[in-house]
């Protein structure tokens, strides 16, 4: 069952309208509708709350916010109509812009472009159909990730300790870090500073694996 179908099933299980679901979640009727039609997706914390207020079984079989789902478990399904590609050959992978509010809670929508895709792309080899590129804007990961270059993000790969990751907080902040620990909470580090960042699981929307940096010279504009 796709996440959007689970949201609809949870609402109907409670006998609620979209407006009632939105009210229970502290969101608008439109937001609840977006969750059901797949235009956006609720965060892990919001999924927890939907399961709680509707009494419908949790989609990931977890009832405690203290246990995050594996990152690839939340990766969206391949968009309808997407054309399979040979992962061993370079393919067009879109650059996703961070915008004023950071990256979206959900990168892939129902179309064949990721949410927030710009007119830029890179010809990069990847086995992940949901791979995307993001520009490096901070200096904490120098020398491996230089501001102005890009990082290849593969949401379908579960990151391991010491892997580079792209992190999105529920506040909207997105950053590239090293995954140091996920025991009881997330701990992230950098390459050129000893500062360690600590975040509760419920304060993080997602943590996606970064395969490697991509030089700016490999980025092409569509226009």
- For 31-62, the pLDDT digits (tens) are 888 888 877 777 777 888 898 899 998 876 65
Query: The tokens 């792309």 sit on which residue?
Result: 121
CA distance 84 to 156: 16
Average pLDDT for residues 138-163, to the nearest whole number? 90
CA distance 86 to 170: 35
Question: Which has the minimum average pLDDT: 29-33, 114-118, 147-151, 163-167?
Answer: 114-118
Predicted TM-score (pTM) of the model is: 0.60
Q: Which two tokens stand for residue 64?
A: 């405690």
Q: What is the pLDDT of residue 70?
A: 52
Helix (H, G, I), strand (E, B) or coil at 104: coil
In the predicted structure, residue 108 carries a pLDDT above the cut 50: yes
Question: Which has the minimum average pLDDT: 28-37, 86-95, 177-186, 202-211?
Answer: 86-95
Q: What is the pLDDT of residue 215?
A: 94
Average pLDDT for residues 150-171, to the nearest whole number? 90
Query: The tokens 């892990």 sit on which residue?
Result: 44
- In sequence order, the β-bridge partners of residue 117 are 96
Confidence at 145, pLDDT banded by 50, 70, 90: very high
Average pLDDT score over the chain: 81
User: b or e along 56-69 (b: 16 or more beta carbons within 10 Å of the residue's beta carbon)?
Assistant: bebbbebeeeeebb
The CA dihedral of 114, 148, 85, 113, to the nearest 10 degrees, is: 20
Q: Which residue has the higher pLDDT, 174 or 74?
A: 174
Identify whether the C-beta of residue 34 lies closer than 8 Å to the C-beta of residue 3: no
Strands (E), 13-116: 91-96
| Alpha helix positions (H), the chain | 3-14, 18-25, 29-37, 44-54
Confidence at 109, pLDDT banded by 50, 70, 90: low
Q: What is the pLDDT of residue 74?
A: 47
- In sequence order, the β-bridge partners of residue 197 are 188
Using DSSP bridges, classify how beta strands 150-154 and 204-214 pair: parallel, antiparallel or unpaired: antiparallel
Nearest to 125 by CA among 95, 91, 155, 97: 91
In the predicted structure, residue 210 carries a pLDDT above the cut 90: yes
Backbone angles phi, psi at 11, to 5 degrees: -65, -45
In the predicted structure, residue 79 carries a pLDDT above the cut 60: no
């Amino acid at each position: 069952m796709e996440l959007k179908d689970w949201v609809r099933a949870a609402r109907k299980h409670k006998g609620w309208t979209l407006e009632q679901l939105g009210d229970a979640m502290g969101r608008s009727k439109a937001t609840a509708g977006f969750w059901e039609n797949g235009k956006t997706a609720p965060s892990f914390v919001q999924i927890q709350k939907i399961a709680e207020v509707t009494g419908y079984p949790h989609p990931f079989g977890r009832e405690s916010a203290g246990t995050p789902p594996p990152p690839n478990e939340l990766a969206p399904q391949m968009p309808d109509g997407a054309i399979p590609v040979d992962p061993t050959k370079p393919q067009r992978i879109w650059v996703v812009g961070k915008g004023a509010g950071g990256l979206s809670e959900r990168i892939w929508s129902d179309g064949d472009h990721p949410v927030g895709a710009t007119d830029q792309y890179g010809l990069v080899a990847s086995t992940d159909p949901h791979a995307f590129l993001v520009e490096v804007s901070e200096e904490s990961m120098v020398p491996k990730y230089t501001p102005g270059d890009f990082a290849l993000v593969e949401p379908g790969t579960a990151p391991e300790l010491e892997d580079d990751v792209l992190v999105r907080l529920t506040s909207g902040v997105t950053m590239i870090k090293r995954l140091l620990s996920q025991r009881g909470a997330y701990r992230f580090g950098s390459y050129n500073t000893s500062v360690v960042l600590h975040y509760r699981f419920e304060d993080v929307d997602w943590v996606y694996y970064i395969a490697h940096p991509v030089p700016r010279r490999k980025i092409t504009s569509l226009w």
